[in-house]
Amino acid sequence: MACYILRWRWEGAFPDVSKAIVVVAPHTSNWDFFIGLFVDLALDLKAGFLGKHSIFVWPVKRFLLWFGGIPVRRTTSEHVVQQMVEEFARRDKLVLAIAPEGTRKKVAEWRTGFWHIARGAQIPIVLVGLDYSRRVVSIGPTIAPSGSLEADMRAIRAYYGNITARHPSQF
């Protein structure tokens, strides 16, 4: 399948699940959002996404909310995890895309809120990579959070080892 607008295609198939956390990485460019959005539309996922509250301003606020945007203040992450666990419990269907870096800049450690949300809501994590070297959105494995954050994060990070970011020096 292909997203011809930007000459991107995807590999793999999205699992047949009604609820999931979709980890999308690497996130080093504003283009990542638009590529993800086009693939979301092509696959009819209707995925929601978390974004820092400061991007939800006029004139794009309505657009972001309409496409499933959920504004968050990153200084209170523990409340976001609990709120999202409760939101998954309330809904019959919810797919939530999260960039684990939490920013487009290079970070030493990924944020782990997505893992805590998935574990608390008892839902799978779907790994999705944005490989700019091949112009491919790679829909990877689906994992169930184990009892070990460290072990799961090692496996998750390993998946992204051969994926090339838009700005590799920032990943």
Asked whether residue 1 is assigned to any structural domain, the reply reads: no
**Residue owning tokens 């809501």:** 121
Q: Which domain holds residue 111?
A: 18-170
Which residues are CB-neighbours of 150 under 8 A, at least 6 positions away? none
2 within some domain? no
Percent of the residues in the chain that have a pLDDT greater than 90, as a whole number: 44
The model carries a pTM of 0.83
- Poorest-pLDDT segment among 37-41, 120-124, 127-131, 132-136: 37-41
- Evaluate whether residue 140 is within a structural domain: yes
Predicted local confidence at residue 78, as pLDDT: 55
* Domains of the chain: total: 1
Query: Has residue 98 been placed in a domain?
Result: yes
Does a structural domain hold residue 48? Answer: yes
Cβ atoms < 10 Å from Cβ of 148: 10
72 — pLDDT class (breaks 50, 70, 90)? confident
Q: Domain for residue 126, yes or no?
A: yes
